[in-house]
Amino acid sequence: MKIKEITFVAVFAAVMGALGVVPPIMLSFTPVPITLQTLGVLLAGGVLGARLGAMSQTIFLLLLAAGVPLLSGGRGGLSVFVGPSVGYIISWPITAFCIGYLLSRFQTLKIQHILFINLTVGILLIYLIGIPVQAFMMDIPLLKAVQLSLIYIPGDVLKAILASILVYRLRKHPFFSRSLATSYSNHLSKNI
């Protein structure tokens, strides 16, 4: 791994931590708060690509496990991995990887492609992993967990729209496009 790649991974792990500074919105009927950190997952996958995006989220989870209070509300430590929101949290590296992988398949990347991937793969994948784990951890039926999670959809759609705009603009910026394109093509040439 090059220094530039390590820097990008560290920056996006730090972005996740910075988004955790924004206080969570706690709801009375569910222990899973509304946070901005989903936005960071969508950004990491969209800007860094599959490999680096997943790495940044994995580093973030390792920092959480080590006790660094980076989750919204100042939460951290191993206890966050046994709570009702653990499914959402562990879905972050997988989601960043899938977003980055699918976006790399487009020859010409348009904002509607990014938004489509963020909504269908990004948000949906987080829900597909998070909701069943939430149901298991809370010992409630899966349908009840789905009903509880409906409240998150409007905010997640807004986060997906914002992430799509930011990813589109950052990928067009010469710094990111040159740096990441070189990094990605070097990685592919080593693996072929």
Alpha-carbon distance of 135 to 157, in angstroms, equals: 22
pLDDT over 80 at 1, yes or no:
no
pLDDT at position 176:
67
77 — alpha (psi -120 to 50), left (phi > 0) or beta? left
Structure confidence by residue, pLDDT tens digits, 38-57: 999 999 999 999 999 999 99
**Assigned token pair, 94:** 């997988």
CA 117 to centroid of chain Cα atoms: 13
Q: The whole model's pTM is what? A: 0.88
How many Cβ atoms from other residues are within 10 Å of residue 27's Cβ? 13
In the predicted model, what is the mean pLDDT of the chain? 90
Structure confidence by residue, pLDDT tens digits, 60-99: 999 999 999 999 989 999 999 999 999 999 999 999 999 9
C-alpha distances in angstroms, 40 versus 92, 111, 166, 167? Answer: 9, 18, 11, 11
Q: Within a 13 Å sphere around the CA of 140, how many CA atoms are in the beta-carbon half?
A: 18
CA 175 to centroid of chain Cα atoms: 22
